[in-house]
Amino acid sequence: MLKRDASDLTDTHVVSHSLLGELISDVDALKGTLQQKGERNLAHSKTVAVAIVTPERENTFLYEADSAISLLESLQKSCDKQESLASDIAHFRDRVRAWK
């Protein structure tokens, strides 16, 4: 699901278990550049929230805008065969770029 803030619509996509695993791995790989939501060290910079929701866990992380853009580019590459999802990720990445 992708959204910039509560006023935006959220796009939902159904993906295969294997693709979901790849996308979660991409997010997990950048954990060093983020903080769990609730920590306030990033409060003065522009941040993007990324939520990971699976049957096993639900975590929301805050990325600085540049790290979020890198993550979105990686996610887009991972789902290049899912044209609709890749397109929505690219659109969201472009919105983050314009916003930062």
Q: pLDDT of 55-98, one tens digit each?
A: 787 877 788 888 889 989 999 999 988 898 899 889 989 988 98
Q: 12-61: per-residue pLDDT in tens?
A: 777 888 988 888 888 877 765 555 555 555 555 677 877 777 778 787 77
d(CA 100, CA 96): 6
How confident is the model at residue 9, as a pLDDT?
A: 53
Residues 6+ apart with CB under 8 A from 29: 74
Q: In what order do the strands lie in the sheet with 34-36?
A: 34-36, 58-64, 47-53
Mean pLDDT of the chain, nearest integer? 77
What is the pTM assigned to this prediction?
A: 0.70
SS3 24: helix
SS3 82: coil
